Amino acid sequence: MVPASTLQSRLASILPQGLDIIAYHLSSSPASTTALFAPLPGQDEEPTICESHFLAISSPEKAGLKEVLVFAIEILIFSTPNLTTVFVSKADSSGFSSRLSASRGSPSVVAAVTSGFLDFLLQPRLNQSRVILSLFARSQNQYLFPGSIENPGKHVLDDRQLIKWWCRVLDRVLRLHSDTSDPPSSSSAHLLVPGCDKGETKAFFPPSSRQDPPSDPKWINSYPVELLVTDVAKPPRHLVPRFPDDPKSRFLDDLDGDFIDNQGRWRSIKSLDQFWEMMSYRQECSAGRLVGFLWLVFSQGQTTHTKLSELDQFAHVESLERLREQASLPTPGNSQAQENGDAGIWQQTSSDLSMIREVNSPPPSSPLEVPHDEGPSTESADANVNDGCASASVPGLTDEDVLQVHARRFNETWGELVLSTTQYQTLMDHLLQTDFAGEEKAAESTKSWIQKALGLTGKPGFGLPIQGEHVFSGSVGAEKADLQQVNVLTAVRKKRKAENIDERPASSQSTETTSNATVNILAAGLVRKKPKG
C-alpha cells in the first residue's frame, strides 16, 4: 500500500473511482537564483533558492489506443529567509481529456489534479510563518502542448471564465488550511484584475466567498504588499515580485529600461497604486483583455496576518539561526556517522554546499540567466538528500547555503525524477518542440518526451500508474457539507462536494471539454476578447 503522504495516493483519493491515469512528476534540484524583489541601489540581493516541479498526466495505453499526455502543470518554489513563494508558472491541456473516460457528473479531472498537486507541494511547507501561493490567469490558445489548439476537444476559456476557474481551484486549497490547524493559522486570498473596480473584481470570487463573514472575508480585492515585503516605504520598483513570463514583470523591465535614479525610483510611476493603474493599459490587460493576479497568503501560528516587517523582527531573523542550530544537531542519518567516527556524512554535506554555490538558476521560462554547468545528476541529487541537515561546522556556511539546506528538508515533495536545472530545461524545451496536433502525433510526442526524460537521467522507468478511488455522492446537500470540511484534497477519503469546480474549470492557460464532464486547461496567459455586455 502506498503511504498516504505520496502524490500517488493523494491523487488516487481525489480522482473518480475507476479512472486510470499515469502521473509523471519531475523536479529540479534546489538552486540559487536571482531575487524576486529588486534590491535598492547599492544593496545586495536577498538570497533566494528555486526549485521547479512539473507534473504531466496521461491516458494509459489500452483498448488499442496509445498513451497520450492530456494535461501538465509547472510550478516554481522560491525560498528566502523571509518567505516561501509557490508560483504556478504554466498549465495546459492537449485536447484529449475525453480519453480519461471520467464518469458522468464527476468533477473535473484537471481541477482535481491541479488543486491536489498544489496542496501536495504546499502542505509540508505550511509550518513556516509565511507562505505565498501566486499565479496570474491569462487566456491563451496553447502553452505546453504545441499544435494542441487544433484538436477539437480543446476548449479554451476566455479571460473572465479563466480567472473564475482559477479562483475556484485556489479556493479549495485555501479552505483546506483555513483556521483549522493547531497552532492556529491565518489564510486569505487576494485578487487584482487591472482595469476592473472592486465591484467587477468581486464577481470573480468563488461562490463560497458569499458565506464568509463581512468582518473576516477570505477573498479580498487587493495586492497584499505588507504581507510580502518588509519595507513598504520603498519605491514601487522594489515592492512587486518578478516572476517568469509574467505581464507585470515585463512592465517592470520596461520601466527599468526607461529610467532609475540613485534611490531606485522611476521617472513616470511614483506609487504602487499608480503602477497597478498603469498595468490596465498594458497590451496584456487592455483592448478587451483581462489578466487576474492572485495571491494566497498562509501565516502559521497567527490568528490574523502579521505584517512581514513585524514578523521579520521576531520570527524570520531567527529562522536562519534555527536552521544553523538544527544543522549542528545529530540527525537519524548523521548521529550514527558521528558515533562510528564516519566522516562520510560531513563529506556529503560539503559536497552539497559546493554544489550549491555552482548550481544553476531556474528554467529560462523565467527572465533569469541560466548557467551552462550541468549541476548534480539525478543519482547525486538523490544521494544528497538526508533529513535536510547540514553541518554548521562547514566553513563558509552562508545564508544562501542554509536556504539550500532548508529547501532540501522538503525532499518528500521532490519528483520521481530529480534533474539538474540544465537537464530540466532540456526536457522542457524538448516538449515545446513536439507536436500534439492530432492523436497520432500526440502519441508519438508523448513517447518521445518520456524517452527523453529517461535518457537524461539514466533511469529504467518513469511514471506512476494511478487508479481513482473516490466515490462521488449525488446528494447536493451532502456535497456542500463536505466542502465545508474540505477533506477532498487530503489522503482521507470522504464524500466530495458537487458544486464542481469543474462547472467550467479554467486555469492559467486554457481549458477543454470532455464527452462526460467539462475539463478545462490552465493557461498562464491566454488572450481572448471580453464578452460584450
Query: pLDDT at position 144, please?
Result: 93
Mean pLDDT of 414-419: 96
Average pLDDT for the chain: 77
Q: Convert 347-403 into a string of H (helix), E (strand) and C (coil).
A: HHHHHHHHHHHHCCCCCCCCCCCCCCCCCCCHHHHHHCCCCCCCCCCCCCCCHHHHH
pLDDT score of 228 more than 80: yes
Rounded to an integer, what is the distance from CA 301 to the centroid of its chain?
23
Query: pLDDT at position 376, please?
Result: 38
The Cα–Cα gap between 339 and 349 comes to 17
Mean pLDDT of 77-92: 94
pLDDT score of 85 more than 70: yes
What are the grid coordinates assigned to 488, written together?
A: 477532498
* Catalytic residue from among 119, 159, 171, 246: 246
Q: What is the pLDDT of residues 156-201, one digit of tens each?
A: 899 999 999 999 999 999 998 875 556 678 899 999 999 999 999 9
Give, for 464, the enclosing helix (H) or strand (E): strand 464-467
- Rg of the chain over all Cα atoms, to the nearest angstrom: 23
341 pLDDT band (50/70/90 cuts)? very low
The Cα–Cα gap between 258 and 180 comes to 48
CB 55 within 8 A of CB 223: no
The Cα–Cα gap between 80 and 403 comes to 7
Greater confidence, 344 or 302? 302
Query: pLDDT at position 261, please?
Result: 94
Query: pLDDT at position 319, please?
Result: 55
Q: How many CB atoms lie within 10 A of CB 268?
A: 11
The Cα–Cα gap between 187 and 181 comes to 11
Query: pLDDT at position 347, please?
Result: 35
pLDDT score of 141 more than 80: yes
Q: What's the longest Cα–Cα distance across the chain?
A: 75
pLDDT score of 353 more than 50: no
Mean pLDDT of 59-64: 88
The contacts of residue 33 (CB under 8 Å, 6+ apart) are 48, 49, 50, 78, 361, 362, 366, 368
Is the peptide bond preceding residue 465 cis, with omega within 30 degrees of 0?
no
Mean pLDDT of 375-401: 46
The Cα–Cα gap between 329 and 326 comes to 5
Read off the DSSP letter of residue 316: I
Mean pLDDT of 280-306: 89
Query: pLDDT at position 373, please?
Result: 38
Q: What is the pLDDT of residues 364-375, one digit of tens each?
A: 333 333 333 333
pLDDT score of 222 more than 80: yes
Name the most confidently modeled range: 228-242, 285-299, 352-366, 377-391.
Answer: 228-242
CB 129 within 8 A of CB 302: yes
The Cα–Cα gap between 339 and 332 comes to 11
531 pLDDT band (50/70/90 cuts)? low
- The reply to whether the predicted model has a pTM over 0.95 is no
36-40, 284-288, 383-387: least confident range: 383-387
- Strand pairing partners for 77? 51, 86
pLDDT score of 95 more than 80: yes
The answer to whether the Cα torsion of 72, 73, 74, 77 is positive or negative is: negative
pLDDT score of 409 more than 80: yes
16-25, 133-142, 446-455, 495-504: least confident range: 495-504
Q: Is 246 tagged catalytic?
A: yes
Cell 476559456, residue? 157
Q: Which region holds residue 105: left if phi is over 0, alpha if psi is between -120 and 50, else beta?
A: left
